[in-house]
Amino acid sequence: MSWPDPPTSVSAREPVLRVENLTTTLFLKDGPLRATEGVSFSVYPGETLGIVGESGCGKSMTALSVMRLLPRGLGRITGGSVTIAGVGDLTRLSDRQMRRVRGNDVSMIFQEPMTSLNPVFRVGYQIGEAFRTHTKVTRAEARRMSIEMLDMVGIPSPEERHDSFPHQLSGGMRQRAMIAMALACRPKVMLADEPTTALDVTIQAQVLKLIDRLKRETGTSVVLITHDLGVIARNAQRVVVMYAGVVVEEADVADLFRQPLHPYTQGLMRSIPRIGATERRSRLNTIEGTVPSLQKLPAGCRFSDRCPHVHDRCRLQEPPLASPKGMNGLRKVRCWLYEEAT
């Protein structure tokens, strides 16, 4: 399949996606709740940026905010900006304008394809909808292009599978169909939210390799959201660590694994199972406690109740996200242990 050229050329030094001070608020019966607060990061052409953290840290809410797919009447972006190169700030677009951008300039793979694919429409029709919405093609051309996409993502007998309903495909095939749908119009950025959830280990590896291969073939940048640091190590170039709705660390993947700075990141690293550990050391390390409720956050640092290095200032004042002295500006951490951060 010949890929169409991107609608706008992007310099390798210019981010294709820039999120700045993103704050998302959920308006609940008990009052407003900030699901994300001041989240900032950039994604550059051809790279994979990982977003990692425990469940409830705001990873998926960040992705839904970028896509402008927050629950209607419940969630709203209340601060910051989300800028796509050649498009502008998505938070300023009308719903109609956003529908033209979604799928064309930015797309998303959701956690569970069975709940994302419409069960009453055939898989090929749903992939073809992206072509029909964003390009001037006939129904026959959309069918041909959809079959080519199914073939590209490695689904056997693509002509037959084109006319299948979602329930007739295996979990791995459904996820491949979602990837085909997300990449149909060659977006600048694709958000992959836990794309291997509910898949067995072998299929997980195949799906991640597929995403990486298609990223290189199409030039689409990827935001890979996961709780698995092993997935980040193998598939991302840079990583953002989130905790309780905020970014607590940002670094190149190699730097993060060599020297994690934030106590939360250090705890995540210690929690990774080690092959060949002695029986005495075989007990898994854990981070004591749980992620705090966003309705009852600690007064200072959000990690203070679980941090082994906590001191009085941590309980009184939340630290800023800043670059520690002596490190490049791409390395950032939100912790009072690095008071010389600038």
pLDDT of residue 196: 86
- Structure tokens, 124: 């090929």
Both 79 and 181 in one domain: the answer is yes
Both 161 and 310 in one domain: the answer is no
Q: Is residue 277 domain-resident?
A: no
Distance, CA of 180 to CA of 218 (rounded, Å): 12
pLDDT of residue 4: 42
How far is the CA of 182 from the CAs of 89, 112, 323, in angstroms?
21, 14, 35
Both 144 and 104 in one domain: the answer is yes
Q: Is residue 295 domain-resident?
A: yes
CA dihedral 301, 305, 306, 308 (to 10 degrees): 80
Q: Which domain holds residue 330?
A: 249-272+285-338
Domain count, the chain: 2
Q: Is residue 11 domain-resident?
A: no
Q: What is the CATH number of the domain that holds 87?
A: 3.40.50.300
Q: Are 82 and 70 in contact (CB under 8 A)?
A: no
Q: Is residue 12 domain-resident?
A: no
Q: In what order do the strands lie in the sheet with 17-28?
A: 31-43, 17-28, 75-84, 88-89
Handedness of CA 83, 84, 85, 86 (dihedral sign): negative
Q: Are 40 and 22 in contact (CB under 8 A)?
A: yes
Both 168 and 268 in one domain: the answer is no
Q: List b or e across 263-273, with b for residues whose CB sees 16 or more CB atoms inside 10 angstroms.
A: bbbbbbeeeee
Both 257 and 234 in one domain: the answer is no
pLDDT of residue 141: 93
Residue 326 backbone zone (phi > 0: left; psi -120 to 50: alpha; other: beta): left
The pTM (predicted TM-score) of the whole model is 0.90
Q: Is residue 66 domain-resident?
A: yes
Both 51 and 161 in one domain: the answer is yes
Q: Are 220 and 214 in contact (CB under 8 A)?
A: yes
pLDDT by residue for the chain (342 residues), tens only, comes to 444 444 344 445 799 999 999 999 999 988 899 999 999 999 999 999 999 999 989 999 999 999 999 998 899 999 999 999 999 999 999 999 999 999 999 999 988 888 889 999 999 999 999 899 888 889 999 999 999 999 999 999 999 999 999 999 998 899 999 999 999 999 999 999 999 887 888 888 998 999 999 999 999 999 999 999 999 999 999 999 999 999 999 999 999 999 999 999 999 999 887 766 555 556 778 898 999 999 889 999 999 999 999 999 999 999 999 999 878 777 999 999 997 544
Both 126 and 255 in one domain: the answer is no
Which value, in Å, is the radius of gyration of the alpha carbons in the chain?
Answer: 21
199 contacts: CB under 8 Å, gap ≥ 6: 171, 172, 175, 207
Both 164 and 265 in one domain: the answer is no
Task: Encode 4-28 in three state secondary structure.
Answer: CCCCCCCCCCCCCEEEEEEEEEEEE
Q: Are strands 75-84 and 88-89 parallel, antiparallel or unpaired?
A: antiparallel
Q: Is residue 231 domain-resident?
A: yes
pLDDT of residue 52: 97
Distance, CA of 319 to CA of 321 (rounded, Å): 7
Q: What type of residue sits at position 324?
A: P
